[in-house]
Amino acid sequence: MLAPDDAHLAPLPCLADRPPRREASTGWLGNGQAPLPAIHDEEGPRLPESLPPVIDAHVHLFPDRMFDAIWRWFDQHAWPMRYRLYAQDVTRFLLSRGVTRIVALHYAHRPGMARPLNQFIASLCKDEPRITGLATVLPGEEGAGEILAEAFAMGLKGVKLHCHVQCFAPDEEAMHEVYEACVRANRPLVVHAGREPKSPAYKCDPHALCSADRIARVLEDYPGLSLCVPHLGADEFDAYERLLERHDNLWLDTTMVMSDYFSSEPPLGLIRSRPDRIFYGTDFPILPYAWDREIKRIAALGLPEEHLAALLGGNAARFFGISETAP
């Protein structure tokens, strides 16, 4: 937990340090016609030494042109980017500030993109061993299982998919090939299957595609699949807390939800109830606030030291198979 000299981490946010609350019915992005505001909060120079080892398990790395396109989309439809850094600069930024390791996520939104994207991530991992890279594929594209097998052979340690961007439901037929490839290779899967943030700028309706009930069917059909739903399953926090009790192969990450930025209150009960199956992530660099905003709030919860250590690093190491002796 926090040491007395970590004063810059201790204060919880004041009401002026977050966007105004929206009605839940409008979704986290409201009507999607205007982006949410940036928060000009102070950032720390690095993580305090008193924290346990920190793995940021939700970092986005893309080729430069894809980052340019992502920034344009977020500027128009979601929130302004505070950190306009390309892949190698993203890695240097976090590792130089005390993050022990990062898990690199990406996704393909058209057929034919996955192979070069996976090669890009594998190359970054080769140059920087503190990156744990995941593969991606477009569900339903020809040879999806073969694409993933090739990615695993290159050293990628799991798979990242995004229902909102790739427009698929977790329990649809095309996903079976992906699940089977992960189980066969004993690789975990991270899939953004929570309903939020919903935006009319997506080409599909996340609330129609995503639900905790759909994820429950996947967990039941594939008990050998290690599955993480990011953002604590937003916005179905209670439903995902119940799923954690029923399924040992389900995990969640904290990404952005504990930042006190969106319309709903952070689900503190969920964090405290399952410190063994939740891990820390940020969405860096796709953030409208300080890079360490979320970890400040997590550290200020006063969790037992062993729970904080699991949440900030230990659980991600277990889920992704990261060795404690790795560089």
pLDDT (tens digit, 9 = 90+) per residue, 254-278? Answer: 999 999 999 788 999 999 999 999 9
State the SS3 of 241-301: HHHHHHCCCEEEECCCHHHCCCCCCCCHHHHHHCCCCEECCCCCCCCCCCCCHHHHHHHCC
pLDDT exceeding 90 applies to what percent of the chain?
85
Quote the mean pLDDT of the chain: 91
Residue 326 confidence (pLDDT):
53
Q: Average pLDDT in the 284-306 region? A: 97
**Where exactly are the structural domains of the chain?**
54-320
Residue 9 confidence (pLDDT):
34
pLDDT (tens digit, 9 = 90+) per residue, 7-41? Answer: 333 333 333 455 544 444 457 776 666 799 999 99
In CATH terms, 54-320 corresponds, of 3.40.250.10, 3.40.109.10, 3.40.50.150, 3.20.20.140, to 3.20.20.140
Extract the runs of DSSP E, i.e. beta strands, from 148-272.
Answer: 159-162, 189-192, 227-229, 250-253
* Entry pTM: 0.91
